[in-house]
Structure 1
Amino acid sequence: MSETLYLHGNTAVINYNQGFPSRNVHVLNSKSFEKLISSYLENTDKYTIRRLKKICPNQDLTKEILDLTKQLHVYDLKDVNHPLVQDLRLVQDLIEDIYQYWREFQRCSVIYLGKKSKSDLINFIDKDTEFNKTILSFYRNLQEKAQGRSNKIYRQLKAGTNAAITVRQKKHLLPEAYQNLNHGMFIDSVLLHSPLLLHPNTNKREGHFQEVYENPIQDFDLDNNKFFCYPAKIGTLLAFVYFHKDFIFSGISLANIFEPATTEDIAARKPDIVIAFGVEDGKDDMVFYKDKPNDLVVAKLSYQPKLEYFGYMKKIMLTAYNVSMMDKGHLPIHGAMVNVFLKDGTKKGIVFMGDSGAGKSEIIEEITNLGGDKIEHMDVIFDDMGVFKINQSNQIVAEGTEIGAFVRLDDLDRSLPYQAMDRSIFMNPESTTNARVIIPITDYETISNEHPVDYFLYANNYDDKIGVNLFRNINDAKQVFIEGKRMAKGTTHEMGITTSFFANPFGPLQQEKLCRTLIDKHWDKLSENNVKVGEVYTNLGVVDRTEDSLKEAAKAVLDLLT
């Protein structure tokens, strides 16, 4: 990225390599500060502009504000020679408004590492801390000068950034056909100032990902000024996710949900998945392609403002994962799994399956809350997507994909988001529709191992029944799971009662013929392994549900396990 400060929408990206302001005077004399003031004036209210033009008619307002701030930095208020000081209230409002305007941006700093970069020697956490300190000091100096006295109350806010990353080129094993990606910049380290509050302009996902039969990124010209790569471990698979800098906060939010691959991981194995997210091709593509000669699943999402919503990035990654796993003979499960370790010394593996909003994550949280007298501890294996495999002992086992959860605030116990607040990423938390939080919940070693399955329950959010129903005949359950019915709650473009093949529009829907074969194969093993199959009634889609509905379902599951 060649610019020191890049502004787009509500996102700001600061390139430390292009200029690092370690003192107030560096901020004052920087092109970035001038850019920020110009942006503020373009976006502020008409009343403020009228007040400014009344005092500074026919003047360049950006230059006037710059001149004022330079004088305030150097002189006491009584010695400042500028027309704006005749209205001190306006000056104070300007300082506060520009500071708040800056802080309303989602701000991420970037350090490029490399053989020729002095930044290799920099502790990027210390550097980011220093930047935050400088910006806060710069604001306070101007604010206290304008009011003519020191403050009595100080708030130590993160005035510089909300997050920071280091990036570098790395040795990798991309096939020769993908040489256009050879020089990509991989994210090496991520710093999150959590709790991180993000405000994407969209808060739901629309449409499905479509399979195409020509490689959608064969002509993709990777521009390192615009794209970064997050190397993700999705379960046991390796994915390279190249994303446009306008979606940098979706990209770094991946750190709370997908284990980052190490430099050694990237150098040792070929990726299974390659994704280009935010490709500026003038299209509205959300597609994937099976590159069979190179044993790769490739995906592309064209640049659209709606991609700010994190669900697009997360779900294209899981779609590519599911497609890859089905090609390997495994069955994707859209659901959640926990290993429940009971106080009597036994362990039960329980899987909940269902589409978005069915209550998979939420019922696990309730079981955690209610099971204190029966449960020693619980390990989350997956929270949204996992996979069933048949191991060498002909036993059904499950693996996970994610180390975190992306869940609706409305469906959680009110205290839960705050218990993990220090590590959380909130998305539109004040919204009344689909406010979300990303919470790290488990470790990579746990999710990537194979786990036996004892119970397989469909999360039914549309019937007003209570508790759990186990099917006497396992084959009677198959149609319930395949139909994939749910009450859609506005987390996607759908509303009301809907169906989706195998409750999984992320691969199985597009590859239905292959998936049906895998369902039959794995269903036979469920029966042979004596896995209990049934429904749990979460009531999350029931209009007049009570706050205790989910608790009743969790109690029924606990009774089943004990």
Structure 2
Amino acid sequence: MEEILEIRDGCKTPLQLLKSKAFSRYLSIYKKQFIKELKSRENSEQKEEVVHKIEFIEDIDRLAFIEIFESNESLSSSELAKHKEVIRFLEGLFHHYRKKSYTRLIKLHDNILNSKESAESIKDRISDKANKLTDLILETRRILLTKVGFSVGVRRSQGLECQPNVTCGEISGKNIDLPSVYKKLSEVPLTTHADMRTGIHYTTHANKRAFPFFALDHNPFKGSSFNPEEYVAIPFEVGQWNIIAYIHKSRGCIELEPGLLNLFPFSKVRKLVKNKPDGVFIFGCPHSTMDDLGYHYDKKNKLLVGLIPNIDDCKYFGYGKKPILTLHNVLCILNNQMPLHCGCTRYVVRFDSKTGEPYIFDSFVKADDMGRATFLNNGFSNNNANIPYFYGTETGAFACLDGFSEYTKMQMEGREIGYNKHAGTNARQIVPVTDYSEVSTGSELDILLYLNNYDLIKPGESCMNIDMSVDEALEHFRKGARVAAGSTQTHRGKIEISYWANPFPLLKDKDWKDLPEHSDLSERFKTIEKNFFDIIKKRVKSGLMKIGVAHSMLMAGCYSKNTDSKLSKYGFNDREQVEHEGPERAARDMINLIKQTAVQKKELTKTDLKEIDITVAMVGDSRTGKSEMAEKMEEVLSMKGAKSSSGKTIN
């Protein structure tokens, strides 16, 4: 497998860097790859050049660079020419390190377990370690270039980013309490803090998900063949649960690490130590087959185990995100909580001091793609005081760039971890969209909507349909209909039916029958659903909550049954126009609904509140309009900055 570079040396000077094991390891990695590429051209017309180039590369070792570093200015012309050849090779190595390598800078810090140092202070030290290494690499390169006379002219340091992909602090994996059958997992050090290079885009072998992540009738973990040295371990707090991801260090797998770090919050170290995680997820197991792709609940040890094999078709970020969220959802159902495949936002509504008119002051993302609803005291009962509270899972968003404006893409730049930027379609990037405190704190659920992305709404009519019974709304959630974008295994322009918008794992098939693999979960879910909607009925009847369908119209332009004449009748001149104007119309109607709900909520409190929170959850699968409507709402409200003369927001 193509190697990654892990740096554990503590170098302070350029000479120490050149003498370090890490430099020797990376020199070896680069030489192997360079020679491999050259050998693929051995039978070409440039055979002689290739043979001599390989001989030159094979002769280079770290002593060649140390010799140049320690040389004086009185070199013969032949010595200088030889040194220049070596430094030209070094330049190739340097830019390969910057652009094509995968580097982890590691600091072991078990001592934090017994210290009172704040998390921010620990993170500062991790970031400082990354910055010092970057400065040292640039300084070493500058000195070597100067030694051979390559530093004449303008110095170009800025923009030469050479930070490690991930700089992390680790503790021993033996600090967690895993059952004995999983003892090999305890030998993988746990990443507890990290600093990563953002604004970088990785290429993975696959660009779509094609295989379902279903329950298995066997435990996929293979303890006897598991090699701890081949994995990194990252504990994530996913909703209420701690799930440790074990990622194989091979290229094609390890690239998921920064994306997941940008998506999920770390588990709290002190909650992990001497405790058992709720789930483990193994990505890229080289000893597994497609028969092991899925999850298994180890009832004896009360541990949920998920696995993705080391197969090229599974090397895609979606096979990291979706399985982890699936484990979250299974844990939800096992603990009588309601998983919701949705976007959820908490809106802060204030009232004008003179007119009393409501206005949206700010908004906070609680979930980009997945969350859960639970109730006060974490239980279902017949008590009328039960209030549904919403909690999120991700602090980041796995955004598909196809549907975003150039301005929105610009806002993401510099904070993103991207994948398959040049793939043509389904290019994705993970960007931070909210804070841990927002995801981990429950908010009273005021509005619950199903997102319909294909039906057209006439101009003048509201895209928010809340004038329906709770039972009628429930059928929309159960049906989970949407027109697909074709980013997974679906057919673009056709209606896809997915029970509850597929909150993974899929509980029912297309004929509405329980999937055999998930029949036990499906039965549990039915009970949870009934209790959930029994309480919602009471709250809707009392005016405490709203439920219905939101029409984003995002995919109405490509829906096969929406003819050109029908589109024209509903105010659209062409099909591409629908994708942009539909969500904007829906966004404006959503704003009105939020303000109306705030007024009614204030009236029910019978107090003169100056500010009220309205939390809205919109259930829907990908490309139903969750992100697109949120983007349009920000544009309409202009809440994220002032407008420039060009009309663009200045942050």
TM-score w.r.t. length of structure 2: 0.72
After superposition, give the CA deviation of every residue in 1:430-464 in whole Å (9 maximum; x if it has no partner): 44311222122222232223222221111222334
Question: What corresponds to 1:266 in structure 2?
Answer: 272
Q: Select which of 533, 539, 545 maps to 2:576.
A: 545
Question: What corresponds to 1:492 in structure 2?
Answer: 488
Question: What corresponds to 1:533 in structure 2?
Answer: 547
- SS of equivalent residue, structure 1 residue 274: strand
Compute the displacement of 1:218 (Å).
5.7
CA distance in 2, matches of 1:213, 1:398: 32
Aligned length: 523
Compute the displacement of 1:269 (Å).
3.9
Q: What value does the CA root-mean-square deviation take over the aligned residues?
A: 3.6
Q: Select which of 492, 507, 515 maps to 2:525.
A: 515
Quick check: 1:470–1:533 contact (8 Å CA) kept in 2? yes
Question: What corresponds to 1:103 in structure 2?
Answer: 98
Question: What corresponds to 1:381 in structure 2?
Answer: 366
Quick check: 2:31–2:58 contact (8 Å CA) kept in 1? no
- Ranges in structure 1 where 5+ consecutive residues have no aligned partner: 1-7, 347-372
Compute the displacement of 1:488 (Å).
2.2
- SS of equivalent residue, structure 1 residue 457: strand
Compute the displacement of 1:20 (Å).
4.9
1:319 aligns with 2:326: yes
1:204 aligns with 2:208: yes
CA distance in 1, matches of 2:270, 2:212: 34
Compute the displacement of 1:252 (Å).
3.6
* Residues 1:116 and 1:416: Cα distance change in structure 2 (over 3 Å): closer
CA distance in 1, matches of 2:204, 2:222: 30
Compute the displacement of 1:337 (Å).
0.8
* Residues 1:412 and 1:152: Cα distance change in structure 2 (over 3 Å): same
Compute the displacement of 1:190 (Å).
0.5
Compute the displacement of 1:164 (Å).
1.2
Question: What corresponds to 1:15 in structure 2?
Answer: 7
1:152 aligns with 2:154: yes
Quick check: 1:434–1:490 contact (8 Å CA) kept in 2? no
* Matched letter for residue 471 of structure 2: N
1:333 aligns with 2:340: yes
CA distance in 1, matches of 2:448, 2:370: 14
Quick check: 1:286–1:300 contact (8 Å CA) kept in 2? yes
Compute the displacement of 1:536 (Å).
2.0
Q: Select which of 198, 203, 218 maps to 1:214.
A: 218
1:231 aligns with 2:235: yes
- Identical positions, percent: 23
Quick check: 2:452–2:482 contact (8 Å CA) kept in 1? yes
CA distance in 2, matches of 1:500, 1:167: 41
The structure with the largest strand share of the pair is 1
Quick check: 2:185–2:228 contact (8 Å CA) kept in 1? no
After superposition, give the CA deviation of every residue in 1:363-394 in whole Å (9 maximum; x if it has no partner): xxxxxxxxxx9311112111111112233432
- SS of equivalent residue, structure 2 residue 526: helix
* Matched letter for residue 436 of structure 2: Y
Question: What corresponds to 1:367 in structure 2?
Answer: none
- Ranges in structure 2 where 5+ consecutive residues have no aligned partner: 116-121, 378-384, 508-517, 559-574, 596-651
After superposition, give the CA deviation of every residue in 1:391-440 in whole Å (9 maximum; x if it has no partner): 34322222111222111122234323433434322223344311222122
Give the number of the structure whose alpha-carbon radius of gyration is greater: 2
TM-score w.r.t. length of structure 1: 0.82
Quick check: 1:382–1:400 contact (8 Å CA) kept in 2? yes
Quick check: 1:289–1:297 contact (8 Å CA) kept in 2? yes
Quick check: 2:41–2:50 contact (8 Å CA) kept in 1? no
- SS of equivalent residue, structure 1 residue 539: coil
Question: What corresponds to 1:164 in structure 2?
Answer: 167
- SS of equivalent residue, structure 2 residue 576: coil
* Residues 1:171 and 1:483: Cα distance change in structure 2 (over 3 Å): same
Question: What corresponds to 2:190 in structure 1?
Answer: 186
CA distance in 2, matches of 1:244, 1:237: 22
* Residues 1:438 and 1:116: Cα distance change in structure 2 (over 3 Å): closer
Compute the displacement of 1:135 (Å).
2.8
Quick check: 2:35–2:54 contact (8 Å CA) kept in 1? no
- SS of equivalent residue, structure 1 residue 442: coil
1:297 aligns with 2:304: yes
CA distance in 2, matches of 1:149, 1:396: 65
* Residues 1:147 and 1:411: Cα distance change in structure 2 (over 3 Å): farther
Compute the displacement of 1:278 (Å).
1.7
Alignment of 1:44-59 (within 5 A): 46=41, 53-54=48-49, 57=52
